[in-house]
A and B are shown apart, each in its own frame.
Chain A
């Protein structure tokens, strides 16, 4: 706009914008009126366009190679669909990718950057890969991508752990533990005491990844932490190491308290606990506690391993399971072990067998609830062969279909999904079909929807594709139902959710 000709035309020739024809054109232009000015400006533009000398710029270092895997083509298509027309699923889709340590393809990253809202930046950064970080280095508008953590680079994880937010530090520490457990623990131990208690607790829990005997000295030091919650977590971790000092002490104490008489489990919990036990987490119950003995039994279970109980009983696993189920301490022990994430080992299979037999005998609702929780815990530790043996009994227990479904561990075999589908089909066949124009019966598909939602959530939390098949079978049953055509959005939404998981996990 500094060009005098352009300036004259912008101001207006009658308003003082003086027009001098460019020397190059002077002899070709007649007059100095508006027509001559317009002809001149077009000629100059044409000359400039034809004789333009282009700019020279230095080259740019090319982007480094990607270190993370990306999606296969069908999953890329699905992600593009989500970006363009199903944006309500974008958060979920990116979360699935981030959990898998995958990156989005470059073309999809461009789409995400073009449309992603600020609140999605964290999600996008997590799946942007090397190309995203490289973009962040060169384009100011996308500088926020520089901070995206690399999943497979210990140096970057170290930096993120040192400088990031608590959430970023947690993620980086887990990743680092998987790469180099010792270096990660050493970095954690350096300034551990300077963090607030809630941060210490979250970071300490990350040591579950790659937990090994050489972590014990650090855990032993943290057992005397100033926060009770941190102490408890350190104890839990140390107890997972069979050779740790605390495991050994707890075995000795258990031997003092546990008695078996005529295959009956007795616990001597009435005497006051010794003061030095408190440092290992065995605390006296609070005053006026409704059931001090129950409190102590649960504490004891939390701090001991089932294998030690089995060894002290000198019983076979099947006999021990029977004794345990008959014991007044059943609930306390099972919930204590479940809370501590203890390994049931050889006890798991006979325990499930015992519980199945008791389900068939129809116990009271309260005990059913407790036993279902216990059975879920035990089943979660069964190997595939043991589990298959239990399955039929679980599924065919008359009147216990809901319980049986709740107890089914993963992966479901074909038989389980077939039986579940048959049960759902039967339930849906009882639903009256309203005439056209009448509202749909409320909650018709609730059980199916709940099942699919549960399976997909489990799939995400555990990053476990074995949950996909039951969800798919459920969806297929629902799709057969005549009402589904009237609830298209339901069907479409479920199908898309399902496809996201199937495509991204497979």
Chain B
């Protein structure tokens, strides 16, 4: 069963988490129960809502009209299970729970069966692909001209943000969505990130160069460049023919990046050797992707998107399970070395994740740092996570997971050095 911290990490936002906590007492519930497959209960709100949770992946269903997922009732049920598991006695599943769980099981089995492939008109498909690439190349030409004008006139222009937005819209129209999103993110950077902003514009030039030469690139490089410009592999292709990695992967944490149109939800998985994988989902509004409780593990097979430094994955055949041992490195330098190796394979790989044991969070010149036993320190990105980690760990040793770009760490989660993996808390 999940801890309260893990349930918190499943909430779509802090207001939902608070609302879920309010419903985390038995007084709000009736007909509570649990089985090996799920939890359920009827929540007394302005109406009586039937709430059920699948223990396989913590998906939930509720009869409430909320568009958030999981809704506050499902979170409340999980908070209740975390705080007072005895309130949920082992019982036979009522019909409304059994039907839903059976339905989910059937869907999962159907998904596992290879789907019948429809006949493909390869000629038409190739024609469509050519047309799209032509449109993208035309869009890239216009973008490059604008970029060069920008460099000629200097980046210190008051309307740079607006120019970046306009350029992003042009790329979006040219079906180069990923590159358009990159321009939006560059536009969202603060003035203090000017160096990073310039470096990112340089990478845009690289991607334009490489996409023009895509026919001359190796398959891996072509896939990498295509993905960064906006020609991603389809999920079915990845699951059918992507490289596979099997084993147990620690769910280090989930971070969310708000874009103008989409929210990027990044779930970081770490294998025992320290290699990190990224499960990426692009979501609209308050929608949530698959639920991954930080601190748990997935066991099974991951399918990798094709790339030079393959990092992005889909879960092919996996199941959630409690973590026995957190796969942690011993020094910050090990994490930086792994990231450098990743960069050597692909310069577009901007972040890696790592989990390092016996770290302390320290304060130095009014900012927060990760600090290892050898004295090496990595600054923590500005935000509330640094203060939270500093207060919660009190500069005592902890195993801490973080995503980083070699310069700065974004904290994902932690467990104190002498605490079991089940105490993992998201940051």
Interface positions of A (Cβ within 8 A of B): 1, 3, 6, 9-15, 17, 33-35, 37-46, 48-52, 54-63, 73-74, 77-78, 80-81, 84-85, 106-107, 109-110, 113-114, 131, 134-135, 138-141
Contacts and interface: CB of A to CB of B under 8 A. Distances in A.
A501 B205 CA distance: 62
Contacts of A107: 388, 391-392, 425
Given A50-B343, A77-B79, A107-B391, 16 more contacts: A10-B156, A11-B154, A13-B152, A13-B154, A39-B202, A40-B202, A52-B336, A57-B369, A60-B371, A61-B395, A62-B396, A77-B4, A80-B17, A84-B15, A107-B392, A140-B366
B25 A74 contact: yes
B391 A131 contact: yes
Contacts of B343: 46, 49-50
10 nearest CB pairs, A to B: A12-B154, A42-B202, A63-B394, A45-B199, A38-B205, A84-B18, A34-B151, A34-B148, A49-B406, A50-B340
Interface string B306-346: 00000000000000000000000000110010011001100
Nearest to B25: A74
B363 A10 contact: no
Nearest to B194: A1
A43 B17 CA distance: 43
A283 B344 CA distance: 95
B375 interface: yes
A58 B153 contact: no
Interface of B: 4, 14-15, 17-19, 21-22, 24-25, 79, 83, 144, 147-148, 151-156, 194-196, 198-199, 201-206, 209, 332-333, 336, 339-340, 343-344, 347, 360, 362-364, 366, 369, 371, 375-379, 384, 387-388, 390-392, 394-396, 405-407, 425
B384 A12 contact: no
A74 B201 CA distance: 50
A354 B131 CA distance: 103
Contact of B152 (A14, A41, A62): A14
Contacts, number: 185
A480 B101 CA distance: 36
Contact of A73 (B18, B83, B205, B388): B83
A170 B407 CA distance: 50
15 contacts: A6-B194, A15-B153, A37-B151, A41-B202, A45-B198, A46-B343, A50-B344, A54-B336, A77-B24, A80-B18, A85-B19, A106-B391, A107-B392, A134-B394, A139-B390
Nearest to B374: A56
A113 B360 CA distance: 21
Contact of A110 (B362, B363, B376, B391): B391
A42 B347 contact: yes
Contacts of B25: 74
A300 to B, nearest CB: 55
Contacts of A54: 332-333, 336, 376-378
Contacts of B196: 45
A192 B8 CA distance: 53
A110 B406 contact: no
Main SS of chain B's interface residues? helix
A38 B201 contact: yes
Nearest to B5: A107
A110 B79 contact: no
Contact of A9 (B198, B203, B377): B198
Given A9-B151, A38-B201, A60-B362, A81 B21 contact: yes
A114 B396 CA distance: 22
A331 B144 CA distance: 96
A38 B336 contact: no
Nearest to A12: B154
Contact of B396 (A50, A63, A110): A63
Contacts of A81: 18, 21-22
A60 B395 contact: yes
Contacts of B154: 9-13, 15, 17
Contacts of B21: 77-78, 80-81
Contacts of A110: 384, 387-388, 391-392
Contacts of B394: 62-63, 106, 131, 134
A57 B332 contact: no
Contacts of B18: 80-81, 84-85
A62 B358 CA distance: 13
Contacts of B377: 54-57
Contact of B147 (A34, A43, A51, A140): A34
Nearest to A17: B154
- Name the residue in A13, A38, A80, A135 with the highest tally of chain B Cβ atoms < 10 Å from its Cβ: A38
A114 B387 contact: yes
A359 B396 CA distance: 66
B67 to A, nearest CB: 18
Given A81-B22, A106-B394, A52 B194 contact: no
Contacts of A10: 154-156, 194, 198
Nearest to B4: A73
B151 A74 contact: no
A10 B198 CA distance: 8
Nearest to B375: A56
B206 A39 contact: yes
Contacts of B379: 55
Contact of A46 (B17, B24, B347): B347
A481 B364 CA distance: 58
A110 B386 CA distance: 10
Given A42-B347, A84-B18, A12 B194 contact: no
A429 to B, nearest CB: 24
A60 B202 contact: no
Contact of A6 (B195, B332, B378): B195
B184 to A, nearest CB: 18
A49 B21 CA distance: 42
A12 B153 contact: yes
B200 to A, nearest CB: 8
A6 to B, nearest CB: 6
A131 B363 CA distance: 13
Contacts of A13: 151-152, 154
Given A56-B376, A57-B369, A77-B83, A33 B195 contact: no
A269 to B, nearest CB: 60
Nearest to B362: A60
B199 A41 contact: yes
B375 A59 contact: yes
Contacts of A39: 202, 205-206, 209
Contacts of A1: 194-195
Given A9-B151, A57-B371, A74 B83 contact: yes
A17 B150 CA distance: 13
B198 to A, nearest CB: 5
Contacts of A12: 151-156
Nearest to B83: A73
A52 B79 CA distance: 43
A42 B18 CA distance: 43
B156 A113 contact: no
Contacts of B205: 35, 38-39, 42
Contacts of B198: 6, 9-10, 41, 45
Contacts of B347: 42-43, 46
B363 to A, nearest CB: 4
Contacts of B376: 54-56
A6 B196 CA distance: 10
A10 B152 CA distance: 9
- Name the residue in B19, B154, B209 with the highest tally of chain A Cβ atoms < 10 Å from its Cβ: B154
Contacts of B340: 49-51
B202 A59 contact: no
Nearest to A54: B376
Contacts of B15: 84-85
Contacts of B19: 85
Contacts of B407: 49, 52
A106 B205 CA distance: 46
A465 to B, nearest CB: 18
